[in-house]
Amino acid sequence: MFLGGRVKLGEGESFTIESTSDLWGKYAGDQDILWRVKVPESCDVLIVFEYFITETYMDYLFIGNGTKKSDSPTWALSGYAAPSQIRMNFSAVWIRFSTSDFAGYRGFRASITPQCSQDNTTVDTVGSGFQAFDGETYQIASPNYPNNYPPNTRLTWAFQLPNPQECRIYVTFLDFETEQDNDQVIIGTQGVRVKETFSGRGVLLNYPFLVQSEDSSTHAYVQFISSETSPTARGFMANVTADCEPGYHLDLKRNETYQLKTSNYPLYYATDSDESWVIKVPQSCDILVEIVRFDTQLNQDGLHIGKGYNMSADELFFLSGNSVPRYLEVKSNLAWVRFTSDQDDSSRHHGFDAHVTSTCRNDAAIEHSFDTRGTAVALSNGDIYSISSPNYPNDYGNQQHIAWMFRIPDNCQLNIVMNDFQTDGTDDKVTIRTPESVVSEFNGDAIPEPSFINSTVTIVKFDSGFSGTSRGFQADISPICDIITTETPSTISPVIQPIEPLTVLRGQPTRVMCTVILGDLPIHFRWLKDGDVIPLGVGVEFVNGAFSSSLLIADASTVHDGRYTCEASNLAAAANYTTALTVQENLVELGRGDSLFVKTPQYIWAYFGDVVGSYTWIVKAPQNCTVRIEFRGLTATVPGDVLEIGSGYNISTNHIWNLTGTGANIPTWFDIDSNVVWMWFRPNDHKIPASSGFSAVLRPTCDQDVNAQSYIDTRGSGVSLSNGDSYTIASPNFPQNHPTYTSTIWLIKLPQPDCQLTIDFDNFTTRSVDDMLQISPSASLDTVRATLYGDVIPEPITFTSAYVLIRFSSRSYYGSDITLGFKAHLYADCESETNDTQPYVDVIGGNISLSDDGRYSIASPNYPYGKYPARQDITWHIYLTHPRCQLSITFQVFQTERYFDKVYISTQGRERIYYGDVIPAPLIVTSYYVVIRFTSDGLTGYGGFRANLLAQCEEGVSTTMTPGQPNEGTTTPQTTTFRATTPVSSTPSAVVPIQQNVTNVTTGELLRRSYAITDRGMVQMFRGWVDVQGQGAPNDFCRVVRTDGKPFLSCLLAGSEEDDLLAFTSPNPSVEWFDPGYSNTWYMKDEDNNGRDDYCRCIGSVRSTLVVCMKAGANGFEGPGSDFLPPNSPEECLFHQADPFFGF
């Protein structure tokens, strides 16, 4: 029954339903057909499928109970993996078939019968659909089990999950024997998302294989397939169990490792995230978590780790910020991991990357006498855990930074006993702290007294500087959980000596002392600021003694201004005292000839995240003077380093320069046009020694106007230009030869990002690539757009950016290689409209995300200003927002050194390689992830390439790869190399005559491709570059278009000046119906050897399909009378797939 309706069946009756179909056996688009089925009250409805093939996630068969259509059906079937039969335990059932706007696949056919007897079978051997509920187990087996299964069998069991995002199934094989490779059991999720494939006799028994949804699937499936040959195997039996515990479940085998990471990693994670995992390992194993990278917002976003399944209990660790132990041990075979972030988006972080490993009792990975690597461990009463410095008892080495974290039960104390202790100087130390404060800090060669920590979480950290010539330390860690907490008659409560208020200058070191003058030991100290716990990372440290605690601030700032409370407690009681700390601004006045030397702490040694807080300098010069800043060194290269420069007394206003992360790529000189200047520096909070900070000299300049028209800047400066300003720069010593081995940098700041800076050259002479001028449209050399050298004066260059960095460098050692250098005038323009015809062209590489109609341009380095440099290796990672998007890659320019300098375009399973001096054909790829890579050898290159990228995500995009290059080889995954030479026809004949009537009548040359494309065609149909004019080159663009609702084939001919859709078409497009054929069976190829590419496709009814070609003629495709069958085409072509340019 095609059109739906009401069906009433009695016992023993049956009824067949099927999708509508056209002449070729495919159901039409935009269908919505409803059947309502009624059987006797004591019966169920059994639906048995003869076949089921629909477009996955686009076309659905919904099945529900009752007499009315429901928005919440029991089953939503799509794709290929429908169950062989479904028994609905209701006497009234509705069935609805709904399709998208596009013509579909074969569809479905099913018989409906009443089932009026109870189904008492315990093992399902027919392939059924089950409504799976949490904790229930279903037993399935191959047909005839335990006897040999029949040949040519395809059965599918489907398990509808109550909540696909929270639930999963486990498949446990009790018996398994099939013919190797020929007969298989496949488990996966809806949409043919294959998870596992099993075959043969070596399948692991009694092991639960996990199947869970990673997409929009609504059910999981188990499929059994046997070949046409008679088998001699008994098949399989399995238990299928549903599990709806929260979290993504992992089932790790012995010593198996799995990678956990936040979504989008290594990009920033989203706000308001909540991701969870449940890890199960064998019974005799524990779980080891290795943190590869960790970067979250401190105290707000973090990683929770616990044991067991229940994420609301048994939490062991909470990690936040970016200073965490590298390893965490969970002494259990079950653990859960949960990452959460709040809604605060004021700062962005990368999240975490971790490896989870199943470590079993006899694995060397967890057998250690002393833990030297830094681990987070949960300890119970009576446990003893030993730690030591690296390489103990030998020298621990320099630049060591290791942290251990210990979690103990409530009402316990952590006992830390140092058995050996020897460190060098003050930089090598052991710090013991709780999340609230530092408890103690040890260095030297005296063994400290035991420490007793009243906290559920304790951190022990070892740091070494640049010596590392001592043996270090060894300590035993153990919890004591039988502490008496009631006050004894002899216990005396603590009394705190009053603390005087303090007033300090910004930048000064500060110490606040809290002393207990009366009270019994042990005494526990805690500090609060403005009533709250002081978080980590704000530049505050604590040092505790037996009767005192010191709050230390290395560099006071306004962040530290407030009221501080010291709390002291023992077994008797708690006491507190509050005092005020006031931080005032720091101002230095300089007269003519004076100077001020400023530097970051520990300069020039590399600082760590332990150097926290901010640093401010304010300088006041005489009224008619300006301030010059001369940097002696700056290496602020780690993300998080911030150096800002401004004018006036208020550091929150009048920002002039932001030198965050610019590293060594800044000028030596900055002239600030104000007599009051401030500098503000905040170091990074990373625990790695990657930055050295900076040093600088500030002095008044009262006698020189560096902005005079006659002034030529040859020293390298930071220059702030306003609209209409001009500035002149030149290489050092100009107009004399520049020095040997020099590097000079100018950083130009414009008022706003849409301002233009034009660089106009007067002179330009360099000897070789060792002497060059680099220009970057940012404050960093990481984005260099132009690299200039030689003796030709370059054309003026214009950049639109808030910053432009110019660097002149010479690596020449000998005076004979030195030349004049360069001279250029800079002009700032913030009023002219930005030239939108010159879009941004990415020559840097990196991650690119494109949504529908997203456009992006890439090019080789230095394009279009000159040849690309030697030894380049640049990669663009293009991510499309939907797996059904297409990426169109169109080259505008292509000139590389043949065989040596290449462009690689890679998708999943395929790689294309281009080189040479002819522009490649446009390429269309359907993949959510594409990699484009450019490499050059050790010699200076050619002009390079430029390519435009376009994402198209229209509904119904084909999921196949459709390259527009006709000579690309087969469609199987491979590496195919393309030389960028003129493509030849894919015709199998040896010689193809060039038709003289399609060459340029003036020059006799081959007609080139026309890119005047106004309609790129329907994305789910054929489109590509072919040869329908017979000139021996694929320069005609053919695609399926639609006008007045009717699709037809249209070709834009080579040499055309406009896209006339009716110039070369399928026959009579306004009258005759054009049949594009079954999906992915179409291709264009010269099948009749006349030099023109014909359009071929699979057509016909479902049981009688064949490949038919539409002949390409001189003025268009000829009519049905000229259709022909191509040689070597498959019979029953419906279930075959054609290459768009090579056929079957």
* Inter-residue contact 941 to 896 (CB < 8 Å): yes
579 plus 620 within the same structural domain: no
Of 108-112, 227-231, 859-863, the range with the highest mean pLDDT is 108-112
Does one domain contain both 229 and 276? no
Mean pLDDT of 146-172: 84
List the domain range (segments joined by +) for residue 884. 839-981
Residue 588 contacts residue 596 (beta carbons within 8 Å): yes
> Between 14 and 631, whose confidence is greater?
14
Pairing of strands 123-124, 137-141: parallel
Q: Are strands 274-280 and 248-251 parallel, antiparallel or unpaired?
A: parallel
d(CA 504, CA 486): 42
Q: Tokens 């072509």 label which residue?
A: 1133
Residue 294, amino acid: F
3-state secondary structure of 817: helix
The verdict on 782 and 822 lying in the same domain is: yes
Quick one: 939 and 895 in the same domain? yes
435-455 in b/e form (b: 16+ CB < 10 A) is bbbbbbbbbeeeebeebebbb
Q: Is residue 1014 part of a domain?
A: yes
Find, among 286, 291, 472, 481, the residue nearest to 370 by Cα.
Answer: 472
pLDDT digits (tens, 9 = 90+) for 465-516: 877 678 889 888 988 876 544 444 567 888 998 898 887 767 677 889 898 8
* Residue 742 belongs to a domain: yes
Q: Does 1011 lie in the same domain as 1113?
A: yes
Residue 426 neighbours by CB distance under 10 Å: 10
Provide the CATH number for the domain around residue 91.
2.60.120.290
Peptide bond into 146 cis (omega under 30): yes
240 & 255 share domain: no
Tens digit of pLDDT for each residue in 289-335? 988 888 888 878 889 998 887 777 778 888 888 777 888 888 888 88
Q: What is the pLDDT of residue 654?
A: 77
Residue 989 covered by a domain? no
pLDDT score of 989 more than 80: no
pLDDT of the residue at 549:
87
pLDDT at residue number 740:
79
Q: What is the pLDDT of residue 73?
A: 83
Any domain includes 489: no
Tell me how many domains the chain contains.
Answer: 9
| Residue 191: inside a domain | yes
Quick one: CA dihedral 1053, 1057, 1061, 1063, positive or negative? negative
pLDDT value at residue 759: 92
Residue 317 domain flag: yes
Question: Binning pLDDT at 50, 70 and 90, where does residue 694 land?
Answer: confident
The reported pTM is 0.36
Most confidently predicted of 160-169, 751-760, 1069-1078? 751-760
3-class secondary structure per residue, 300-341: CCEEEEEECCCCCCCEEEEEECCCCCCEEEECCCEEEEEEEC
Q: 353-412, pLDDT tens digit by residue?
A: 898 988 875 543 333 468 888 888 888 887 888 899 988 888 888 888 888 889 888 888
Tell whether the torsion through CA atoms of 386, 391, 396 and 398 is positive or negative. Answer: negative
The answer on pLDDT for 1116 being more than 70 is yes
Please report which confidence band the pLDDT of residue 977 belongs to, taking 50, 70 and 90 as the band edges: very low
CATH number at residue 554: 2.60.40.10
Measured CA to CA, the distance from residue 319 to residue 296 in angstroms comes to: 9
Q: What is the DSSP letter of 1135?
A: G
- Asked, for residue 261, whether it belongs to a domain, the answer is yes
- Identify the top-confidence range among 282-286, 612-616, 664-668, 772-776: 772-776
Average pLDDT over residues 1091-1104: 84
Same domain for 577 and 591: no
Which of 213, 244, 275 represents a domain boundary (last residue)? 244
Same-domain pairing of 177 and 94: no
> Residues 330, 385: one domain?
no
- Please give the DSSP secondary-structure letter assigned to residue 867: P
Q: Tell me, yes or no, whether 1138 and 1020 share the same domain.
A: yes
Closest CA to 745 of 697, 781, 789: 781
Residue 604 scores a pLDDT above 60: no
The neighbour count for residue 206, using CB atoms within 10 Å, is: 8
The lowest-confidence range among 728-737, 871-880, 968-977 is 968-977
pLDDT of residue 468: 67
Other Cβ atoms less than 10 A from the Cβ of 847: the count is 11
State which of 584, 609, 637 marks the end of a domain. Answer: 584
Are 1079 and 1106 in a shared domain? yes
Choose the final residue of a domain: 801, 829, 857: 829
- Positive or negative: CA dihedral 50, 56, 57, 58: negative
- Comparing CA positions, the residue from 150, 236, 157 lying closest to residue 198 is 236
Name the average pLDDT for the chain: 80
pLDDT at residue 959, rounded to an integer = 36
Is the domain of 849 the same as that of 946? Answer: yes
Please report which confidence band the pLDDT of residue 935 belongs to, taking 50, 70 and 90 as the band edges. Answer: very high
pLDDT of residue 692: 62
Predicted local confidence at residue 601, as pLDDT:
66
Q: Is residue 695 part of a domain?
A: yes
Q: Are β-strands 532-533 and 540-544 bridged in parallel, bridged antiparallel, or unpaired?
A: unpaired
The pairing of beta strand 502-505 with beta strand 574-584: parallel
pLDDT at 1047: 85
For residue 294, which of 685, 565, 2, 595 has the smallest C-alpha distance? Answer: 685
Q: Is the pLDDT of residue 891 over 70?
A: yes
Question: Residue 604: is the preceding peptide bond cis (ω within 30°)?
Answer: yes
3-class DSSP state of 353 = strand
